[in-house]
């Protein structure tokens, strides 16, 4: 007789929601019974060979909530959530199924998830570097705390040159995506959620060439979808022949892939990123279905946003803006996916202006006044963060200056150049005044020495920066509080923060 048993179980609890990830040894279709009130229990006894044997407990619920797993049919992996909660809620849950080989009822132990303990800074963090791979810590602290212990986590990677990190929507420990390698030799990896995690390859450049029919090309961006947690999107750029730009999508966490063409044009050497909408807002399109990318295309390198409203299957071009010189990126407003930001050239003296569309990429309008805050990938990095619940609050890191607006770009405050010339920015919405900053390169001009650290935090917009990685440049393994000084800097999206609870 076969019974499914839990081989892995983990929770991710933040202030207002719960995610659960479970794995079983045999496929099953699981339900979650949960409540914010602890159930009563009564013992279960059975008579076995004339003896009364204790077999566990039966839980007596008042009015439990029933939640079905996110996956259809019988599966080995089972995810639940997000389940909406209040910050002070305790949660008790168990997983159950009647779909076993003999249709017997089978359930997990009762699990208790307490309310989160609020901390000001993240505890858990990944950092991707350009030359030394990926590092992980579980004891990150604030400015006056002890230095975190950084551990290299590179088992399974074919290259320690990390192009990009991307969070897994489950947000659980060890669940991160990484794009590693150089140009035409990149591989997309997912870090498995097991006790001894390794990076597992999910997509290679060779796979992309086969899917698209291109002669060559490169994977240049990976994006996940928080509203559809098994959907992964890869931007594949192939300027060889009339094959252009592609969105390569997986609906099952990278097990299978399909390719959808964005633009067939040949002159697309400067494709940007993919940005995924989270909340519907004023848009008529269902949440999670809206994606954007932005390209510089054609003989005159016009900047053109492209829009998909069907999870990346079909794409339409939007407004085109003049002659461009660089590689711009786009970013969706997390409160309304009809709003998108990008950078664009206005004149040769000011090639980095910030533009916004409130109509799914159409009618782009400049929103940075005279401050030149456009977001782009090359030749330098410009990072932008938008508050997850209040889109009036934006922070940008452009030309190593930090800028903030609290009124939807009507007015901007320049906080000055960051000490140590940071070029990477990450923020968590519960504490938007707390900044995580990183340098991008090994070294800078002598007038701005890079200092010993590659990662800093600041609670005063960069006026004071506290080093949190790279303090011991002679330590090649990154032990103690160190990520090696010669790590090449932090890669694109290279700081992955977990909620500070």
Domain ranges in the chain? 6-113
What are the beta bridge partners of residue 187? 180, 204
pLDDT at 445: 46
Residue-level pLDDT, tens digit, the chain, 501 residues:
467 888 888 888 877 889 999 988 888 899 999 999 888 888 888 888 888 887 777 788 888 899 999 988 889 889 998 999 988 899 999 998 865 444 456 778 889 998 877 667 898 899 999 999 999 998 898 887 788 888 899 999 999 999 999 998 876 777 899 999 998 899 999 997 665 679 999 999 999 999 998 888 889 999 999 888 889 999 998 876 656 889 999 999 999 999 999 988 765 556 789 999 999 999 999 988 999 998 876 555 678 899 999 999 999 999 887 766 677 889 999 999 999 999 887 766 666 789 999 999 999 999 998 888 888 766 667 889 999 889 999 999 988 899 999 999 999 999 988 877 788 999 988 788 899 999 887 655 434 444 678 899 998 888 888 888 887 766 666 666 678 877 888 999 999 998 776
> How deeply is 8 buried, as exposed, middle or buried, from its count of CB atoms within 10 A (0-12, 13-18, 19+)?
middle
Both tokens assigned to 90? 């305790």
Q: Is the pTM of this model over 0.85?
A: no
Nearest-10 Cα torsion for 106, 108, 109, 113: -150
User: Exposed, middle or buried, 449 (CB in 10 Å: 0-12/13-18/19+)?
Assistant: exposed
What are the E-state strand segments in 433-473?
Answer: 435-438, 455-458, 466-469
The four Cα atoms 438, 388, 176, 485 give a dihedral, to 10 degrees, of 0
- Give 278's strand partners: none
Q: For residue 159, what are its two tokens?
A: 């290259």
- 88 is written with which tokens? 């002070």
Contact 423, 488 (CB under 8 A): no
Residue with tokens 């997309």: 188
Reported as type and span, the H/E element at residue 444 is: none
400, 417 contact by CB (below 8 A): yes
On the question of a cis peptide bond just before residue 379, with omega within 30 degrees of 0, the verdict is yes
CB within 8 A of 195, min separation 6: which ones?
none
261, 283, 286: which is closest to 361 by C-alpha?
Answer: 283
Residues 6+ apart with CB under 8 A from 368: 353, 354, 374, 409, 412
CB-CB contact of 224 with 232 (8 Å) = yes
- Give the residue from 203, 214, 284, 282 showing the smallest Cα distance to 248: 203
What confidence score (pLDDT) does residue 102 get? 45
Residue where the block lists tokens 């990183």: 438
Q: Say how far apart CA 447 and CA 318 lie, in whole Å.
A: 42
> Is residue 278 a contact partner of residue 226, using CB atoms and an 8 Å limit?
yes
Residue 7 corresponds to which tokens in the numbers above? 């081989």
Q: 296 near 303, Cβ under 8 Å?
A: yes
Pairing status of strand 134-137 against strand 327-328: unpaired
Cα distance between residue 152 and residue 477, in whole Å: 8
Residue 474: the pLDDT is: 63
pLDDT value for 128: 95
Tell me what pLDDT residue 100 has: 45
* pLDDT score recorded for residue 323: 65
Q: Chain centroid to CA 249: how far?
A: 16
Question: Positive or negative, the Cα torsion across 26, 27, 29, 34?
Answer: positive
Residues 6+ apart with CB under 8 A from 197: 153, 155, 174, 191
Q: What angle do CA 241, 246, 250 make, to 5 degrees?
A: 145
Would you identify the CATH topology of the domain 6-113? Answer: Immunoglobulin-like (2.60.40)
Q: Are 78 and 71 in contact (CB under 8 A)?
A: yes
The predicted pLDDT at position 308 comes to: 98
**Could you count the other beta carbons within 10 Å of the beta carbon of residue 51?**
8
């Amino acid at each position: 007789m076969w019974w499914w048993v839990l081989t892995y179980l983990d929770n991710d609890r933040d202030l207002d929601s719960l995610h659960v990830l479970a794995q079983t040894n045999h496929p099953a279709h699981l339900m979650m019974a949960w409540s914010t009130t602890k159930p009563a229990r009564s013992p279960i006894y059975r008579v076995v060979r004339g003896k009364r044997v204790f077999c566990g407990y039966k839980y007596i619920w008042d009015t439990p909530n029933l939640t079905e797993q996110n996956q259809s049919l019988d599966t080995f992996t089972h995810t639940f959530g997000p389940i909406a909660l209040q910050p002070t809620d305790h949660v008790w849950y168990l997983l159950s199924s009647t779909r076993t080989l003999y249709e017997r009822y089978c359930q997990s132990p009762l699990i208790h998830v307490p309310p989160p303990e609020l901390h000001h800074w993240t505890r858990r963090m990944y950092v991707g570097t350009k030359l030394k791979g990926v590092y992980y810590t579980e004891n990150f602290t604030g400015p006056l705390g002890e230095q975190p212990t950084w551990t290299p986590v590179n088992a399974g990677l074919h290259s320690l040159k990390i192009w990009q990190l991307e969070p897994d929507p489950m947000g659980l420990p060890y669940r991160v995506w990484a794009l590693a390698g150089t140009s035409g030799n990149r591989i997309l990896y997912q870090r498995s959620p097991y006790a001894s995690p390794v990076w597992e390859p999910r997509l290679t450049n060779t796979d992309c060439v086969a899917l698209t029919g291109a002669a060559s090309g490169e994977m240049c961006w990976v994006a996940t979808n928080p509203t559809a947690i098994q959907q992964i999107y890869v931007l594949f750029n192939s300027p060889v022949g009339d094959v252009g730009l592609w969105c390569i999508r997986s609906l099952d966490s990278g097990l299978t892939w399909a390719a959808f063409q964005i633009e067939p044009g040949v002159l697309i050497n400067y494709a940007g990123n993919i940005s995924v909408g989270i909340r519907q807002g004023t848009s008529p399109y269902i949440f999670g279905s809206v994606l954007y990318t932005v390209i510089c295309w054609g003989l005159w390198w016009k900047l053109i946003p492209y829009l998909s409203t069907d999870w990346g299957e079909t794409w339409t071009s939007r407004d085109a803006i003049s002659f461009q010189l660089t590689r711009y990126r786009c970013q969706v407003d997390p409160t309304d996916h009809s709003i998108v930001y990008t950078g664009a050239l206005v004149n040769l003296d000011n090639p980095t202006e910030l533009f916004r569309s409130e109509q799914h990429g159409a009618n782009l309008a400049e929103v940075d006044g005279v401050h030149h805050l456009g977001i782009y990938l090359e030749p330098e990095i410009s990072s932008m963060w938008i508050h997850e619940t209040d889109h009036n609050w934006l922070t940008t890191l452009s030309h190593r200056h930090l800028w903030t607006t609290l009124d939807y770009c009507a007015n901007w405050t320049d906080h000055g150049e960051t000490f140590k010339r940071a070029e990477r920015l990450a923020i968590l919405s519960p504490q938007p005044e707390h900044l995580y900053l990183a340098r991008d390169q090994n070294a800078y001009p002598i007038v701005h020495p890079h200092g010993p650290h590659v990662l800093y935090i600041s609670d005063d917009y960069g006026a004071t920066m506290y080093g949190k990685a790279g303090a011991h440049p002679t330590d090649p393994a990154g032990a103690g509080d160190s990520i090696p000084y010669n790590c090449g800097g932090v890669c694109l999206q290279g700081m992955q923060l977990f909620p500070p609870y």
